[in-house]
Chain A
Amino acid sequence: MKKLFTLVLALLLALSLAACGGGAGTGERVVRYGLSNAWDSLMPYNSPSGSNYSRIIYDKLYDRLAYVHADGTLDPRGAASWESADGGYAVLFHLDEGAAFHDGTPVTAAHWADTIALLTDPDCPTLGRGAFAVLAGTDDNGAAVEGETLGAEAVDTYTLKLTFKAPTTPEDFLLDKNREYYVLPTHLLEGTDPAELMTLELWEAPIGSGPCKFVSETPGSQLVLEANGDYQLGAPGFDRLVITVIDKSNLLTSLIAGDLDYYAFGGNVSVEDAQVAREAGLTVVEGTVPNYFYELMLNNETIPSAQVRRAIDLALDKATLCFQSAQGLGEPAASDLTPGTGYDSGLTWSRDVEGAKALLEQGGYDGRTYTLACTSTRAGLAALMQQELAEAGISVVIETVDSATLFAGMADGKYDMAIASHTPGALPLWFTESRFTQGNNIFHVADLTPYADFIAAIKGEGDPAARQALVAEFQAFLAEERPFIPLWFSRTLHVQSPAVDGIDYPSSTFSNENVWDWEYRSG
């Protein structure tokens, strides 16, 4: 009896140990991937949030035209090469002939053209359709205009031609829009009413042409994918990718504990957490390009004087604020142009409290108290700003709100200023283009005309030197008007995965991950 009991115990122990090993016991190479927020749909054009958390999932299941590196360079992906055409109004994409959907059907230019035609159909309830507004034959919302030729055409089986409303270089288009253009399996959608597209069962177990295939989903919690062995850029070096939603504060501890092999985006950690990671034996590397751009959003309606807005800019000690936030991994900014991208505003920044006081007097500041909104994680930063602005005589109260409320409050005009951060882009208009339109006038600028004129002129200028001159002129205008305050650019630190090699950590921040280069090493 005692022997039997011991045997049963030993068996149970062996079983539990095998369970702890996950796929290791079966020889399956499973990469456990952490994500701090859930995706909201598996259909890339049905994401209400349009967040990077959804995009990083689509990046695995569906294919894009190119792979964008953190430094703004591009690599082939769905398209093997590209060239400008029609005097800069069109781009020809020569598709990779090895690309295929997960059901084995080759990806052709017709798939791309049909995808765009379907999603720009006014009857189709596409979310994020604005991404197509750059194409000829669409309106400002990206919907196809009846009677006009849509700027997406299959020239031959493997050549896609995109025609734009304004001259656009292939690089500009890809840097700006690549992460919003996916190819769908239109051969499975024949005869589908565009109005019914989002409700198809296909999106519950999607078939894409990305580097990973769908296996199963627990909505909002876990997504299991398997490697696409036929992916044109090479098969990922793992068998399964298990994506689990884990609270942000637990990502690093899970990595340290061995419950995760990697977490999006690029295993980012703060300087303080990096120390903890190093002490736990993990390798931490510094990002090579700026990953964050911090700005102080201003409500130009409640702060109508450009002098007062400039006074706020001069009163802030951006170096101290940057150090408090980025702890040595950032530099104060005088413009929104991303450092290292080749564009330069020629502007410099320095704090001048006395100059700020003089500008306040000129601007007729009446001593009113402004409301500064921030998220709870930036409450310290806001408190520091409050002190600095008080030194110049500007009175501020702080409202701590969640991110959605912050942006909604700025859009509604509820707040006078707000701290926000963004992932910077390599294009000179990455920040300004979308913020000075009637549809997204988040700074409540009274007259958008000069901004729109500058933006149109820069977009239409193909000559690099002339473009740089226009960019500098626009930045000088922004510095004079100061509709928002650029604060600083900062880099991030990446915790290296203890189990996966080949990860392009910096580029993960830009919502694409080179999973085809990943190689599972061991647990």
Chain B
Amino acid sequence: MRRGERSGRSPLARLLRDRRAALCLAILAAELLAVLLLPPLLGLEPYASDLEAGFWAPPSAAHPLGTDDVGRDLLARLVYGGRVSLGVGLCSAALSALVGVPLGLLAGYRRGAWEFWIMRLADVLQSFPSIVLVLCLVTLAGPSAVNLVLVLGLLGWTDIARLVYGNTLSVREKEYVLAARALGGRTGRILRRNILPNVISPVWCALPLRAGRAILSESSLSFLGVGIRTPQASWGGLIQYAASLPVLAERPWVWVPPAACMLLTVFCLQGVGDGLRDALDSKIRNPSHRKLNSFFTKSGPKCDKIN
């Protein structure tokens, strides 16, 4: 019997009952819809310069967010930049989970050499300053959205693997796992059927946070000029204009919208992560634990590990 079934309400229903999480989810859904639907609906063109409007034109009816340094519409670039930033964030988080969950499961369940090599590799990767490592790899691989997803995703598995590994160590000693092994169950089946469902909850709440971090990393790399290939737009690339003193001081319409979008997105991803943690945590669902939970909930031990 699953947790949701036990409490009579699914985790999704519990998540949606959490007002803050539901609001964050709604904002993220609206953002996704906007970046997908606005370009065809409004006929946005992010790469064409409007030389009549001029370079660095302030907001107008033709260009609601003004134009950039080569006369391109900033609204179009904000929307297309959102596709890139959200895409990189969500895809790299998914890739991190795809790599980190199996490795964490294997390290925690098989232990021995598996545990040694996987967790030591995680230690090594985590001992590097992450931004420097990402910067080097992206520079070597070349700037593109796909390379960013690969680098951020493949370097981000360590947090998730640690999370799964820690929980697997405890679950592998449970009676039902011992029983499955005693009955001759194969490792793959035990991992898939008996262990994974019981260790995956923290991963769900870690994923939005991972996506948020990936968006920030993408923005940092674009700010440093190694993120997305010119002339593609990304929120970080748009914020990069603020590195120029006149733009920072006199043209807030250039950098405030992408900065606000990024801030809002990361905040909402955090909110969804917190909501998922609450929805999947049995202690929080139990009224007798609520008081205690209110003390710990803002920095719950499981999700805190990946912050």
Contacts and interface: CB of A to CB of B under 8 A. Distances in A.
A and B found bound together:
yes
Interface of A: 249, 252-253, 272-273, 275-276, 320, 323-324, 374, 376, 379-384, 386-387, 397-400
Interface in B254-280: none
B69 interface: yes
**The 3 residue pairs across chains A and B that have the minimum distance between CB atoms:** A376-B225, A272-B246, A383-B231
A387 B230 contact: no
Contacts of A399: 142, 229
Interface string B64-83: 00001110100000000000
B253 to A, nearest CB: 15
Interface string B205-235: 0000000000000000000011001110000
B48 to A, nearest CB: 7
A387 B245 CA distance: 27
Contacts of B183: none
A276 B249 CA distance: 9
A249 B246 CA distance: 12
A379 B230 contact: yes
Contacts of A323: 55
Interface of B: 47-49, 51, 55, 68-70, 72, 142-143, 225-226, 229-231, 243-247, 249-250
B225 A387 contact: no
A398 B229 contact: yes
Contacts of A275: 246, 250
Contacts of B69: 324, 380
B245 A252 contact: yes
A387 B49 contact: yes
Given A324-B69, A324-B70, A380-B68, A276 B245 contact: yes
A272 B230 contact: no
A382 B230 CA distance: 8
B246 A383 contact: no
Nearest to A383: B231
B231 A320 contact: no
Given A324-B70, A376-B225, A383-B70, A400 B244 contact: no
A386 B49 CA distance: 11
Nearest to B251: A272
A156 to B, nearest CB: 56
Contacts of B72: 383
Contacts of A383: 47, 49, 70, 72, 230-231
Contacts of A384: 49, 70
- Give the most central of A272, A324, A381, A398: most B CB within 10 Å: A272
Nearest to A382: B230
A403 to B, nearest CB: 12
11 contacts: A249-B243, A272-B244, A273-B245, A324-B70, A379-B230, A386-B231, A398-B229, A398-B230, A400-B143, A400-B225, A400-B229
B47 A387 contact: yes
Contact of A276 (B49, B225, B229, B246): B246
B48 A387 contact: yes
- Give the most central of B49, B68, B70, B142: most A CB within 10 Å: B70
Contacts of B244: 272-273
B225 to A, nearest CB: 4
Contacts of A397: 229
Nearest to B245: A276
Contacts of A374: 230
Contacts of A376: 225
Contact of A253 (B68, B143, B245, B250): B245
Contacts of B48: 387
B52 to A, nearest CB: 12
Contacts of B143: 400
A518 B181 CA distance: 87
Contacts of A276: 245-246, 249
Nearest to B225: A376
A459 to B, nearest CB: 40
Nearest to B243: A249
Nearest to B69: A380
A324 B51 CA distance: 10
A324 B55 contact: yes
B227 to A, nearest CB: 10
Nearest to A272: B246
Contacts of A272: 244-247
Contacts of A387: 47-49
Contact of B70 (A252, A273, A380): A380
B182 to A, nearest CB: 60
A252 B69 CA distance: 21
Contacts of B226: 400
- Give the most central of B51, B143, B230, B245: most A CB within 10 Å: B230
